[in-house]
Every structure is written in structure tokens, then in C-alpha cells.
Structure 1
Amino acid sequence: MKNYLTLLLITLLFIGCSTKQEEIPKKTITKQSIEKEKTAFDYLNGFYDDDLNLALEVFKKACEKSSKKELFKDVCNNSYNSTNGKSFFTNNFTPKVLVSNTGDKGLITGYYEPLLKGSRIKTDIYKYPVYKTPKDLITIKNKKKYPHFKQFRYKAKIKNGRYVPYDTRAEIEEDNDFDIICYVDDFIDLFFLQVQGSGRVLLDSNELINIGYANQNGRKYSSIGKKLIDDGHLEKEEVSLQTIRAFLKQNEDKIDEVLNYNQSYVFFVEKEQTATGSLNVPLVAKRNIAVDRKYIPLGMPVFLETTNPKTQEPINKLVIAADTGGAIKGEIRADYFFGYGKDARELAGLMKEEGRLFMLIPNDVVID
């Protein structure tokens, strides 16, 4: 999850905030979302034109975490001595197209790693704090005793000797005494950093630091994109990162109202490595996706067929499922990681394309 990274741009439109799902048990995969018939690799558009050696390297990196699961243990062991991506994937996996009750196509969105400008010291320019996890934020362990905290993801604080839901975004912004990583120069960019779940900050000392998701206040994500639609400020068809950002910049008197509509608040930690997803391995631009792990286990190779939102050219890539996100729900649903920087932000902001997903299932796995 954008353990959120990712979080994720469609969260601006509908829902957000990652939630943990149950792991797929051992060497079985549910068949409810998989076409029964095998799919030949020749059926995957552009599969043999892809850089399968690079895909193999990304898979090996994912195996540092996923090989602990019985599902991937053998195939990960096979990967370590492999150097030819084409032969490795075709000899060890069987492609199967994901399907839903509406067919074999679903929504593919995009996310990216933001770059912000900041300082370790608060100034007139750098005045918006990037908070660490508050010391009074508690994750309730005894879930059976406090079932009503499920709606708050079991996040709480103690007030007058009792658990109470943790503060909303507005309450956090209004009054707190949290530890701070740094200060940034743009309040809106800070909000989008929370949506993405990780990013980089270029400090005024020229130091570039990596920050990642640490925790969340437990409040439900409410889409500011949907609010702008409901309030008549934007049409549904035109909503994107770019149009939301432009509206907020042009209507600064509405910034607090719009952003506080989303009560969810993300806290960060400074990290040595760049963006990592829920699998806790560094994300690779255009080689990783966020998925609903109820249907696709993390670490699974997935062949993605979709379209570039800017050029309308095909995107046919073998990617690795390495992240999750609250807006990423359903069988045929993925968030494509575009990488870092301005170009990545533009493409991720525009990405709302139709696509197909083919899981490459290890040959020794039983489809139950």
C-alpha cells in the first residue's frame, strides 16, 4: 500500500487510502476472476517486443520479498540463475486473462513519484510541514473488543482514558505538535504527495531526500475530484490532476474547504531509497503496477495492455504487481507507475484508459 503508495490518481476522482487485504493462500489462486482456458504467449500483444530481460530483473528484485510466500518460492529460485527473460517467463509461467462480470477490460490509471522543494528550517517560503507519525497515534490491537473502530482502520488516540478516533485533516492542520521532517513551499503539492504516498524533496541546501508513507490517521478518503464535480466546478470528463490543481491555484479561498473535505491524512518517514510500494521493494518506472491483491498477489508478473493517454499509442508491458491502493479495487484494475518527475506527473495525471491484464501464473500453482 501506497502502503500507499499510491496512491493514486484515480483516488482524486472516486475513493482512496490503501487497505490491507487477505493474502492469497499458498500455492492456490482463486479462479473466479481468471479465464479457465490457457492463453498462449503469442496472444499477448507485443509480448515478444517487450524488454523481457528488464522485466526479469524487476521480477528478481520483487523476489527478495515475494519468495517468502509459498506461491512464488520455486519460481523465484528458478529466476536467480536465469539471464534470458523470454525463456524464463515462457518456460515457468502460464498467462491467463483476468475477467469480470462485464468482460476482460477494465480501468487503468497512473501514479508517479512527486518532487517538492523544501527546507529543514521553516521560512516565509518553506512553511508547510511534512509530518512524521504523531506520538499519540495508536493502532488498536484488540480488534474484537473495539469493532466500531474498523471504520477508522483501528487508528485512535487516548482522551480522558478512552480510545477516540484520531483527528481529521482539518483538526491536524489547526492544532498539533508533531515531529517534522521538513517544510515545503506548496500546500497543494503537499496534499498530492499524500495521495501518492511517497516522493522526493529537494532541500534548499541542494540535498535530495526520499520520503515515504509511514502511517495514516484512519479517516476515510473522500475524493476532492468528486467534490468539485458535485459542486459544479468541474465536469466529470475533464477531471484530472492538472484540472484539480489549476482550480485550486485559481481559487485559493476554497483550498481549505476542498482539501479538508478529504479527512484522511498521511504521515511520512525519511527513507534511504526511492519510492517503494506495498511489497517494500523500490518501484521501477513503467515496470510496476498497483493492484487489488484480493485478485492479484503482490509479486505476480502481469502483462498489461493499455494505451498512452497522451499519444494514444499502445502500452504493452510485462510488469510486476508491487503496490496497492484504496482506489484500486476489482479484478481488472491497475495503477501504472510512471516514475519520477514532471513528465511522469503529466502522464499519470492524464491516465484513465481501458486495458486488459494477463496474470502470468507459475506453472506449479493450482488454480483452485
Structure 2
Amino acid sequence: MSGGASCTAAPPAALSPTLERVSFDKIPGWRQDSVLSAFHAFARSAERVEIKPYRSGALGIALSAFAPAHRAARAMPDADERAARAFFENHFIPCRIRAEDGGPGFVTGYYEPEVEASRIRTERFCVPLYKRPDDLVDVDEGNRPPGLDPYFAFARKTDAGLVAYHDRGAIDRGALAGQGLELVWLDNRWMPISSTSRARRGCGLKTARPCV
């Protein structure tokens, strides 16, 4: 939905002053573009939120505001294009994001890069892509130990309890080596710090989610 951001149908007073309400007809391509894939993505999020709630964002929109939309999405397993468009129009308000200083804005986007990889380590492919270690556990307010950074969503499980996980430097120095965690080997260190990438080589094309 280019040209605007969707905020939930909350009272205008609850929204950030950086959000300006507009109509769906003001979104370029709204009537022509397919929105079914966007609905499927939202529906997956609606399932996930029951397991682990998302943190609220910084635009004045609480996670609870999405509850009606989440319930509706979970009840629409066979939605088609028409139903998906109606879903967004019924549960969301299009908003234009305005820079607080009135100047131009800056928007970041999510994408999934593809990189070359090898199943075996070679001189070129020498950077490991690790799967999630068994001692990496989710952290929330129910199990967060005293002193652990409140922004940490994960921790390392030890016999003495939960502690901060190995940082990037420690992992580069071999903190995870020798545990059989290597999924594939890469030829650069850029991919492991992105959230999701695709690795392709003789093993074919696969999606890999780095643990760090």
C-alpha cells in the first residue's frame, strides 16, 4: 500500500500526530493492486501473536488495537482477493506519515536478499551460517532475570540461570563453533546480520533465518 501507512481503526486522538488520516482511494493503486498476499501475511501474524505478542510500536498504536483484526483474520482461512480488500477497508484506516519538522521523510523497507552458499567449508565459503542453538531461549517479563537489558528478547540458558547471549564479537571468535550448528557456509559476513536471507548453491534454494 504505497503512499501511506495503515493504522488500526482507533479514535483519532489515540494516533500519533505524525499520522494524517486519508481515504483508501488516496492510496495509489489500491483498487488495481493485489492485496491477497498482504492479507495472508497479516493472517500469519494473527496466528503468531497468540503465541508471542508483538511489542507495540512508537506511533501511539497499542498491540491491543489490532485484536479485532487479528480475530477476523483467523476466521478467514479461505479469503479471496475481494474478501482481503474488504478486510483491510473494514479494519484499518489509511494514514499518511508526516515528518514532525515538515521536511522530507525517510522510510526503511524489508527485503530478502539471496546469497551464494556452500554445504561444505572451502577457501571461499568460510563464514558459517548457524541454526538456532539449543541454549538460546526467548525472554519476556515472566522469565527476565534481574539486570538483563530490558530490550533483550533472547538470553542464554546456563546451569546458573539466564544470562546475556554471546555478542557478535564472541561468535566471530568461535563461541558457537564445534557444536554442529552450521547450516551452510557463506563467502561474506553481511548476510548473518540480516533477519532473513536465501542461501543458494549446490544444495538448491532455501530460506535460512540466522540466529544472530
Fold match by TM threshold 0.5: yes
2:125 counterpart of 1:126? yes
Tell me the residue number matched to 2:194.
196
2:208 counterpart of 1:211? yes
Note the aligned Cα RMSD (angstroms). Answer: 4.1
Kindly indicate whether structure 1 or structure 2 has the higher relative contact order, using CA contacts under 8 Å at least 6 residues apart. Answer: 1
Tell me the residue number matched to 1:235.
none
The answer on whether the counterparts of 2:155 and 2:165 sit within 8 Å (CA) in structure 1 is yes
Tell me the residue number matched to 1:60.
39
2:46 counterpart of 1:46? no
Instruction: Pick one of 180, 183, 198 that aligns with 1:181.
Output: 183
Tell me the residue number matched to 2:158.
158
**Aligned-partner residue type, residue 71 of structure 2:** K
The answer on whether the counterparts of 2:39 and 2:84 sit within 8 Å (CA) in structure 1 is no
**Residue ranges of structure 1 left out of the alignment (5+ in a row):** 1-23, 216-265, 267-368
- What is the DSSP-based 3-state SS (H/G/I as helix, E as strand, rest coil) of the residue aligned with 2:135? coil
Alignment of 1:11-160 (within 5 A): 28=10, 31-33=14-16, 38-42=21-25, 44=26, 46-47=28-29, 51-52=32-33, 54-55=34-35, 57-67=36-46, 69-74=67-72, 83-84=81-82, 88=86, 92=90, 94-99=93-98, 101-103=100-102, 106-139=105-138, 146-151=145-150, 153=152, 154-158=154-158
Tell me the residue number matched to 2:64.
none
Give the direction of change, closer, same or farther, for the CA distance of 1:101–1:158 in structure 2 (3 Å limit): same
- What is the DSSP-based 3-state SS (H/G/I as helix, E as strand, rest coil) of the residue aligned with 1:210? strand
**Could you tell me the TM-score, scaled by structure 2's length?**
0.62
CA distance in 2, matches of 1:149, 1:81: 43
- What is the DSSP-based 3-state SS (H/G/I as helix, E as strand, rest coil) of the residue aligned with 1:59? helix
Once the two structures are superposed, what CA deviation does each residue of 1:285-305 show, in whole Å capped at 9, x if it has no partner? xxxxxxxxxxxxxxxxxxxxx
Higher strand share: 1
The answer on whether the counterparts of 2:196 and 2:208 sit within 8 Å (CA) in structure 1 is yes
The answer on whether the counterparts of 1:34 and 1:97 sit within 8 Å (CA) in structure 2 is no
* Sequence identity percentage: 21
Once the two structures are TM-superposed, the CA of residue 143 in structure 1 deviates from its matched residue by: 5.2
Give the direction of change, closer, same or farther, for the CA distance of 1:163–1:116 in structure 2 (3 Å limit): same
Once the two structures are superposed, what CA deviation does each residue of 1:95-118 show, in whole Å capped at 9, x if it has no partner? 333456435963212343222222
The answer on whether the counterparts of 1:35 and 1:98 sit within 8 Å (CA) in structure 2 is yes
Once the two structures are TM-superposed, the CA of residue 149 in structure 1 deviates from its matched residue by: 0.6
CA distance in 1, matches of 2:113, 2:200: 11
